[in-house]
């Protein structure tokens, strides 16, 4: 970010807003006069286009979570037994849904560095346009019944590029807004992406059903329905790509801070918080991908009820409630403390996992659904509380170091912000990889035990251990009980 001095304020105190995109060689949003003279409009313009592109990234990222539930009926033998809970079919389905999760999590690190190197305008154009490859590829190959499994695995991996869009989008928007408005802007950007999961899980089953009703309820009809549900995103992807190319801006002074990344990587708190974020966001994204498959495999009869299927109406609710509960997690953390809310959320997630096990054992879909929705709500709250903890932890560490070594407090605070920003990129990538681990646990449990119950017991135990980890490092001592709740930084 540009350093604001008296000289720069005098040289360029105002800004001219333009609709067309361009390189911005001078950008100082923390200067009130500069901000109010048109920079605010430019920042909001870029935020709106970023939300649109990121929302589509999440939509394509999660598309396989729903598509696999219809591919058996579309004539693909490797998923033909999914509605009977066949272990091989369930395993293949979870491989297809977990692969995008893994690729998306890995790409989050390089995507964070792409904005300073290529500029927000160019890279958003590329990342949005890239979504056409897995979309058009799936639309073509799903109409080739002899297509081997590995081709679909490759297409699922390419869909993972949509998951990487989160990091580049968040990094880009962070440069546009002043410190006092950055939290709200990043919160809007993150929520817009997360809602892409829910909208895909709502729209795709309905479009598949529409396609089969327009043709025939046979394999060809299901292939047409899947094609329709995939191609519907193409006009939006083209619009996002064109919008980014024509209207977004790039900030030439947006540079990455390599020193802050090195400091963040050597801090134990980066790795502790990564583990906690695996439990919260990893669970959210992993269960979001797997939820349609879990309903289909464990309660297959419910997917056959009427024109608007139960599968199409209910699977999306998990991602929806998890997305909306995330801001609440950050807000309540301001009042009570991020560490305390994280402990409560993880303990609740362990209880919800036990209730899901009971629902599976009793074959009770209402108990299964309510328990899963509770789990999703708690993952959202945990996402908000853990992200709220990160900048506060680094600030507390920097303040303590400044007091001990006589460092200027303002310098310590600025360093803490940079380290927290760097840590968030690392933590976000590792946390997303938890979604892959979670789905693989489901797959291995189903293969080895012909049941998903052992996996849910493992989740419950992991959530309890994470709650204990949070208490040990951030509530047991005086380090974070008050300090972690003291700062209201960005809830991303």
One domain for residues 238 and 307: no
One domain for residues 392 and 248: no
Is the pLDDT at 304 greater than 60, yes or no? no
**Residue 32 within a domain:** no
Strands 23-24 and 250-251, how do they pair?
parallel
Residue 315: domain span: 257-492
One domain for residues 199 and 223: yes
Q: Which is nearest to 315 in space by CA: 142, 68, 80?
A: 68
CB 145 within 8 A of CB 76: yes
One domain for residues 241 and 109: yes
Burial 350-363 (b: 16+ CB within 10 A, else e): bbbbebbbebbeee
If one compares 387 and 274, the residue with the highest pLDDT of the two is 274
Is the pLDDT at 485 greater than 60, yes or no? no
pLDDT-based confidence at 420, cuts 50/70/90?
low
Q: Give burial (CB, 10 Å; 0-12/13-18/19+) of 11.
A: exposed
**Residue 147 within a domain:** yes
Is the pLDDT at 112 greater than 80, yes or no? no
**Residue 280 within a domain:** yes
Q: Which of 282-296, 307-321, 389-403 has the highest mean pLDDT?
A: 282-296
One domain for residues 139 and 56: yes
One domain for residues 196 and 274: no
Please, what is the average pLDDT of the chain?
83
CB 65 within 8 A of CB 127: no
Question: Which of 189, 224, 252 is the last residue in one of the domains?
Answer: 252
390, two tokens: 């990160």
One domain for residues 244 and 262: no
One domain for residues 262 and 241: no
**Residue 27 within a domain:** no
One domain for residues 330 and 458: yes
Question: Which of 209, 234, 252 is the last residue in one of the domains?
Answer: 252
| Bridge partners (DSSP) listed for residue 23 | 250
Which three-class secondary structure state does DSSP give residue 432?
A: helix
Distance CA 247, CA 249 (A): 7
Distance CA 159, CA 134 (A): 5
Mean pLDDT, rounded, for 374-396:
85
332, two tokens: 């309540």
Identify the residue whose tokens are 């509605």.
83
Q: Looking at residue 433, what is its pLDDT?
A: 87
305, two tokens: 């009820």
One domain for residues 89 and 187: yes
Is the pLDDT at 209 greater than 60, yes or no? yes
pLDDT in tens, 37-70: 888 899 999 999 999 999 999 999 989 988 998 8
| Bridge partners (DSSP) listed for residue 250 | 23
Query: What is the separation of C-alpha 52 from the centre of its chain, rounded to a whole number of angstroms?
Result: 15
Domains held by the chain: number: 2
Is the pLDDT at 183 greater than 80, yes or no? no
Q: Give burial (CB, 10 Å; 0-12/13-18/19+) of 48.
A: middle
Query: What is the separation of C-alpha 64 from the centre of its chain, rounded to a whole number of angstroms?
Result: 15
Q: Looking at residue 179, what is its pLDDT?
A: 66
Q: Looking at residue 9, what is its pLDDT?
A: 44
- Model's pTM, two decimal places? 0.79
**Residue 3 within a domain:** no
Is the pLDDT at 260 greater than 80, yes or no? no
One domain for residues 231 and 263: no
**Residue 23 within a domain:** no
Mean pLDDT, rounded, for 105-112:
84
- What CATH code is carried by the domain that includes residue 323? 1.20.1250.20
Q: Looking at residue 417, what is its pLDDT?
A: 62
Q: Looking at residue 313, what is its pLDDT?
A: 59
One domain for residues 477 and 350: yes
Q: Looking at residue 1, what is its pLDDT?
A: 43
Window from 2-16, 40-54, 171-185, 289-303 with minimum mean pLDDT = 2-16
Q: Which of 33-37, 171-175, 356-360 has the highest mean pLDDT?
A: 356-360
Percent of the chain with pLDDT over 90: 34
Identify the residue whose tokens are 């430019």.
42
Distance CA 103, CA 432 (A): 10
CB 247 within 8 A of CB 20: yes
**Residue 323 within a domain:** yes
Mean pLDDT, rounded, for 317-324:
86
Q: Looking at residue 10, what is its pLDDT?
A: 45
Q: Looking at residue 410, what is its pLDDT?
A: 65
Question: Which of 252, 267, 285 is the last residue in one of the domains?
Answer: 252
**Residue 6 within a domain:** no
Q: Looking at residue 487, what is its pLDDT?
A: 39
Window from 137-141, 469-473, 486-490 with minimum mean pLDDT = 486-490
Which three-class secondary structure state does DSSP give residue 306?
A: coil
Query: What are the backbone angles phi and psi of residue 143, rounded to the nearest 5°?
Result: -95, 10
Mean pLDDT, rounded, for 306-314:
49
pLDDT-based confidence at 309, cuts 50/70/90?
very low
């Amino acid at each position: 970010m540009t350093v604001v001095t008296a000289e720069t304020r005098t040289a360029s105190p105002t800004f001219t807003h333009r609709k067309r995109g361009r390189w911005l060689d001078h950008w100082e949003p923390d200067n009130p006069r500069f901000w109010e003279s048109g920079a605010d409009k430019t920042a909001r313009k870029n935020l709106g286009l970023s939300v649109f592109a990121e929302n589509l990234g999440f939509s394509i990222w999660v598309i396989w979570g729903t598509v696999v539930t219809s591919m058996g009926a579309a004539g693909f033998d490797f998923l033909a037994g999914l509605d009977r809970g066949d272990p091989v079919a369930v395993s293949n389905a979870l491989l297809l849904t977990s692969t995008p999760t893994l690729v998306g999590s890995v790409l989050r690190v390089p995507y964070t560095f792409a904005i300073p190197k290529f500029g927000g305008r160019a890279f958003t154009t590329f990342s949005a346009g890239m979504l056409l490859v897995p979309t058009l590829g799936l639309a073509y190959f799903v109409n080739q019944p002899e297509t081997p499994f590995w081709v679909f695995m490759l297409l699922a991996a390419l869909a993972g590029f949509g998951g990487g869009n989160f990091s580049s989008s968040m990094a880009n928007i962070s440069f546009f807004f002043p410190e006092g408005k950055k939290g709200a802007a990043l919160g809007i950007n993150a929520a817009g992406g997360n809602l892409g999961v829910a909208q895909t899980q709502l729209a795709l089953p309905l479009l598949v059903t529409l396609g089969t009703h327009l043709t025939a309820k046979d394999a060809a009809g299901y292939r047409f329905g899947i094609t329709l549900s995939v191609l519907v995103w193409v006009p939006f992807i083209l619009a996002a790509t064109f919008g980014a190319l024509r209207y977004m801006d790039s900030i030439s002074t947006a540079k990455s801070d390599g020193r802050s990344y090195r400091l963040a990587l050597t801090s134990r708190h980066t790795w502790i918080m990564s583990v906690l974020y695996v439990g919260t966001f990893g669970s959210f994204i992993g269960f979001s991908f797997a939820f349609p498959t879990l309903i289909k495999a464990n309660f297959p009869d419910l997917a056959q009820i009427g024109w608007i299927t139960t599968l199409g109406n209910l699977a999306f609710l998990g991602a929806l409630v998890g997305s909306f509960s995330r801001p609440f997690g950050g807000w309540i953390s301001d009042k009570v403390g991020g560490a305390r809310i994280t402990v409560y959320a993880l303990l609740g997630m362990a209880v919800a996992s036990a209730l899901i096990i009971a629902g599976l054992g009793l074959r009770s879909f209402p108990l299964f659904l309510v328990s899963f929705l509770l789990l999703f709500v708690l993952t959202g709250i945990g996402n908000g509380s853990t992200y709220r903890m990160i900048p506060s932890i680094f600030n507390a560490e920097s303040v303590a170091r400044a007091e001990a070594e006589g460092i200027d407090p303002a310098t310590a605070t600025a360093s803490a912000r940079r380290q927290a920003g760097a840590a968030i990129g690392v933590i976000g990538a590792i946390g997303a990889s938890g979604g892959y681990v979670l789905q693989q646990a489901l797959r291995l449990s189903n293969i080895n035990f012909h049941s998903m119950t052992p996996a849910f017991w493992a989740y419950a135990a992991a959530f309890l251990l994470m709650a204990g980890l949070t208490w040990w490092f951030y509530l047991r001592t005086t380090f974070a009980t008050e300090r972690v709740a003291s700062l209201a930084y960005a809830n991303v």
